[in-house]
Amino acid sequence: MVSWILIAAGAYFLLAFTGIADKFLVSKVVKAPIAYAFYTAITGPFSLLLLPFGAQMLNLQGFIIALIAGAAFIGAIYHTYAAISLTSVSRVVPILGGFVPLFSFGMAFFMLNERLSTFQTIGFIFLVAGAVMISLKKEHGVWTLKALFNAISAAFFFATASVLTKYIFDHSNFISGMIWTRLGFLLPIPFILMSAKNRSAIFSAPKEAGVKNVALYYSSRATGTVGGFLQNYAVSLGSVSVVNALQGLQFVFLLILTSFFSLYFPKVLKEKISSEIITLKLIAIGTISCGLYLLFV
């Protein structure tokens, strides 16, 4: 168990870097959610580079499930950025941190027959609670129904992608799961490009971003790709419910990184830090630590 938890921790460390870059890009550069979904989707065929490393063919049912898993991931990307564009990252992240593990737990219970021990279940609860607490911020304004719908939809699609990908791992191997689910990224592309409005947003995004920000975008996609690879590898080795619950570690890393940038590079990223915020974050870190401890008992 220790190995896949450490792999998941490494994944969430890299995804924290991706989160910071995306926070900057979504708030100040490219604001069209469909552009993020499209440019993520077109990376799907790159998974074919893994073919020589042990790929196996799937039966028809497995292949369909793999494609649905990939398409669900693109749906999650779109709904995440749609929610952020309607409200803020600070409101969306707690929804993802809470609902992705809960949806994953329910789906894995019925679809994968995954069962957690008593200590693992308690640890799971602590991890989810800590993830929500550490990502909470006091914000002005209120949720709109559309923003909340997109945030919960993103959580549902992320959970669906994770659980279905775990199914493929269990019925083939890790390399096969990574290849065939990523080909599913391509499924939404024709539907995305049917809209003239979508095409305009997609093809104008590189111009809006500028050269420096395009470099930042692809750098964030690189760390996101490696982080996602490690996250999926952890899922292939262990519990998909627990790996998703470990997302609280990503928020711990985000807290450390954003605090560093706020102190030393305030022009790049500025976060409000108060005694109240620090107290809540410390309680959250303690809760996550308790959850991790219970996983190892």
- Copy the structure tokens of residue 229: 């690879």
Q: What percent of the chain has pLDDT over 70?
A: 82
What mean pLDDT is predicted for residues 245-265? 75
- CB of 90 closer than 8 Å to CB of 139: yes
pLDDT of residue 176: 93
Residue 76 pLDDT > 80: yes
Residue 272 pLDDT > 70: no
Residue with more model confidence, 30 or 249: 249
Q: Of 83-87, 149-153, 161-165, give the lowest mean pLDDT range.
A: 83-87
What lies within 8 Å, CB to CB, of 93 at 6+ separation is 135, 251
pLDDT of residue 111: 92
What is d(CA 181, CA 162) in angstroms, rounded to the nearest whole number? 10
What mean pLDDT is predicted for residues 187-202? 89
What is the span of the domain harbouring residue 26? 2-296
What mean pLDDT is predicted for residues 55-72? 94
Q: Tell me how far CA of residue 18 lies from CA of 152, 216, 260, in angstroms.
A: 21, 10, 15
pLDDT of residue 96: 84
- CB of 131 closer than 8 Å to CB of 247: yes
- CB of 257 closer than 8 Å to CB of 17: yes
What is d(CA 53, CA 56) in angstroms, rounded to the nearest whole number? 10
> Domains in the chain: how many in total?
1
pLDDT confidence bin for 211, thresholds 50/70/90: low
Q: Of 19-28, 100-109, 268-277, 280-289, give the lowest mean pLDDT range.
A: 268-277
pLDDT confidence bin for 165, thresholds 50/70/90: very high
- Copy the structure tokens of residue 97: 């941190």
What is d(CA 156, CA 29) in angstroms, rounded to the nearest whole number? 27
Angle, vertex CA 110, rays to CA 104 and CA 114, nearest 5: 70
What is d(CA 229, CA 142) in angstroms, rounded to the nearest whole number? 35
For every residue of 22-58, DSSP letters joined together read: HHHHHHHS---HHHHHHHHHTTGGGGGGGGGGT--PP
Question: How many CB atoms within 10 Å of residue 49?
Answer: 9
pLDDT confidence bin for 135, thresholds 50/70/90: low
Q: Of 73-77, 125-129, 241-245, where does the model show the most confidence?
A: 73-77
Half-sphere exposure of residue 27: CA atoms within 13 angstroms, side-chain side: 13
What is d(CA 297, CA 1) in angstroms, rounded to the nearest whole number? 11
pLDDT of residue 187: 94
